[in-house]
Structure 1
Amino acid sequence: MSDDHDAAGAMSFIFEAGVLKRAARTGWWFAGVKHPESIAEHSFRTAIIGMVLAAMEGADPGRVAMLCALHDTQETRITDIPHIAKRYLTAAPNTTVTADQVAACPPAVAEAITAAVAEYEAGQTLEAVVARDADKLECLVQAVEYRHQGIDNVQRWIDSSRAALRTASAHRLADAALAGQPLAWLNPPRQSE
């Protein structure tokens, strides 16, 4: 294959991933959020949380961030299926969707992405455990923020996210999120000179 063909295949995946910037996280509609965060916004902060958790848990922050960035890319094709809908719908496994998404990519790109998604889905490595905790912790943090914005019906998201956490660091961060104020960072303590 030509370098141009490889580049076109990789760019196709990049364009497709861009759809996530416009796709809403649909479960929040049930809580009364009129304009919920996008899947890309969720994935971005999941990657940030993943890097923080990785540092706290002794995992590879770069690998965790990669797993987090890719964990919902399949939703360009299957959408963000709310938890309640999963009782009634059967979607293709994320690994299958990912394989289709990267089929035209250069082999090295396809392998890197499919391996990361497979690792995340298997949930066996420390990095995958931390990435999964980052995903759940981001949902909890978003629920706390929505609650502070006046959306009261978010406790089920807080409870289910917290119950799914596996690492000690994620539990500590969840406690801090629940006890904290989302905008406290605007009034940092002054540094003495």
Structure 2
Amino acid sequence: MADEQMRGVASFLYEMGMLKRAKRSGWWIVGVKDPETIAEHSFRTAIIGALLASLEGADPARTALLCLFHDTQETRVGDIPHIGRRYLDAAPNGVVTEDQMAEAPPAVAELVRRTVAEYEANESREAIVAHDADKLECLIQALEYREQGYANVQPWIDSSYAELKTGSARALADAALKMGSLEWQDTYLRGPGD
């Protein structure tokens, strides 16, 4: 493979590193001083997506892949909160992806283009589940922020819940709404088999 094509892949990997530093800016609107990064959001979205896919009869690996790539364009256009999108004529994510893949080897470029296009089309079972995972991750993050004292997150919880499409996502949201974020420790405190 040509050195130039490998440079294109390496360039994309460096660009994806931006997602580890770029904050999810919508949380600033509700007063969160140090919100999660886009990469942190994408990581948990992928975990949620794989689990939801297994519950919904979709392909967990494919769903997790869609989740991992769902916000990769934000390195170039930023994380624009919903309130701001109304005022912007942003480039479609496919246009950003084309520019990002301009120097990548054909196999890599096709994988990324196809993945972003499938997520954006929101037609396959995996894409529908991936969108639910994105909304469910936002809901869970809002619940965590609420526990930390950020009282203005309720509209985010409500709107995220309202957008869930699958029964498994709604059931998981219902479970999350009825518990605290540290209850997972109970499994450790009880011990195996308790």
TM-score, normalized by the shorter chain, greater than 0.5 = yes
1:192 and 1:91 map into 2 onto residues whose CA distance is: 53
Instruction: Please report how far the alpha carbon of residue 138 of structure 1 lies from its aligned counterpart in structure 2 after TM superposition.
Output: 0.3
TM-score by length of 1: 0.97
- Amino acid in structure 2 at the alignment position of 1:143: A
RMSD, aligned CA: 1.0
Residue 158 of structure 1 is matched in structure 2 by 157
The answer for the alignment partner of 2:93 in structure 1 is 94
Partner of 2:127: 128
Displacement of 1:187 in angstroms is 2.1
Q: What are the Cα deviations for residues 10-49 of structure 1, in whole angstroms up to 9, with x where unaligned? A: 1111110110000000000011100000000000000000
Q: Where does the alignment leave 5 or more consecutive residues of structure 1 unmatched?
A: none
Q: Deviations over 1:137-193 (max 9, x none)?
A: 000000000011111110111111111110000000100111111001112132238
Distance in 1 (alpha carbons) for counterparts of 2:20 and 2:29: 21
Percent of aligned positions that are identical = 61
Paired AA for residue 2 in structure 2 = D
- Separation in 2 of the partners of 1:192 and 1:117? 43
Consecutive unaligned residues of structure 2, counting only runs of 5 or more, are: none
* Aligned residue in 2 for 1:191: 192
3-state SS of paired residue (1:153): helix
Which residue of structure 2 aligns with residue 177 of structure 1? 176
The structure 1 segments of at least 4 consecutive aligned residues displaced by more than 6 Å after TM superposition are: none
5 Å-filtered alignment, 1:1-193, equals: 2-188=1-187, 189-192=190-193
User: In the comparison of the two structures, how many residue pairs are matched?
Assistant: 192
| Secondary structure of the corresponding residue to residue 154 of structure 1 | helix
Distance in 1 of aligned mates of 2:79 and 2:52: 25
